[in-house]
């Protein structure tokens, strides 16, 4: 039997570039506003080749969302590993800071928001729930925090999404000040 080559196929080499393009394009235009051609153009390949790699727009969006959550969990791990005080509260705080740094470019943040808006599409909803499960389970396992502390951590992250996407920190009205009190994001 011939030995398998360790050389990656062209398709295996192209998938990460297509997925990265999908993250950027779906973050910009959402599921409904982004075409396969948009993703192909960003990856510098043909739309037909994108369809060869990802046979449907849903599968391409799911791949982008999966990559989003891979990056989030990696960022949370880096934050947790980088803090000297390994108490549950300190670890969760460090994870939150690492996440705030990660979403400065907003692509991952916006992709999650777009995924929430089309979660009724079965594949997308499943991928979104899977990603949230990975984040929640990782935060719980790595921090050793209580269930209620992890719930607050995730809820606080969702509040941060709302503050950033709606630009609430720029509004001087009392309701906006109440929501954004104590919440700071890197510039």
The 8-class DSSP code of residue 186 comes to: -
What is residue 169's predicted lDDT score, i.e. its pLDDT?
Answer: 87
Where are the chain's structural domains?
10-180
CATH number for 10-180 (one of 3.90.79.10, 3.10.20.740, 1.10.357.10, 1.10.20.10): it is 1.10.357.10
d(Cα 33, Cα 123) in Å, to the nearest integer?
A: 18
Are the CB atoms for 99 and 72 separated by under 8 Å? yes
What is residue 182's predicted lDDT score, i.e. its pLDDT?
Answer: 81
What is residue 187's predicted lDDT score, i.e. its pLDDT?
Answer: 59
Take residue 98 and report the two structure tokens written for it: 């690492």
pLDDT tens digit string along 124-140? 999 999 999 999 999 99
What is residue 9's predicted lDDT score, i.e. its pLDDT?
Answer: 57
Take residue 155 and report the two structure tokens written for it: 């809820």
Take residue 100 and report the two structure tokens written for it: 């705030």
- Low-confidence residues of the chain: pLDDT under 70: 1-9, 184-187
d(Cα 143, Cα 137) in Å, to the nearest integer?
A: 10
What are 153-161's contacts with CB under 8 Å, separation 24+? 153/92, 153/95, 153/96, 156/96, 157/96, 157/99, 159/183, 160/100, 160/185, 161/109, 161/112, 161/113
**What's the pTM value of the predicted model, to 2 decimals?**
0.89
What is residue 4's predicted lDDT score, i.e. its pLDDT?
Answer: 53
d(Cα 184, Cα 169) in Å, to the nearest integer?
A: 9
């Amino acid at each position: 039997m011939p030995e398998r080559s360790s050389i990656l196929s062209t398709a295996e080499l192209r998938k990460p570039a297509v997925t990265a393009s999908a993250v950027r394009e779906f973050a910009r235009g959402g599921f409904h506003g982004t075409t396969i051609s948009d993703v192909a153009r960003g990856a510098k390949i043909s739309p037909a080749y994108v369809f060869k790699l990802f046979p449907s727009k849903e599968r391409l969006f799911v791949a982008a969302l999966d990559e989003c959550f891979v990056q989030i969990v990696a960022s949370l791990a880096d934050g947790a590993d980088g803090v000297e005080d390994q108490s549950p509260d300190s670890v969760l705080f460090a994870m939150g800071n690492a996440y705030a740094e990660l979403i400065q470019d907003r692509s991952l943040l916006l992709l999650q928001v777009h995924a929430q808006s089309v979660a009724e599409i079965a594949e997308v909803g499943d991928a979104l729930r899977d990603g949230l499960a990975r984040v929640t389970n990782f935060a719980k396992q790595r921090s050793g925090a209580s269930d209620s502390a992890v719930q607050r951590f995730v809820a606080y992250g969702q509040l941060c999404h709302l503050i950033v996407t709606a630009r609430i920190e720029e509004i001087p009205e009392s309701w906006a000040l109440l929501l954004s009190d104590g919440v700071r994001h890197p510039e």
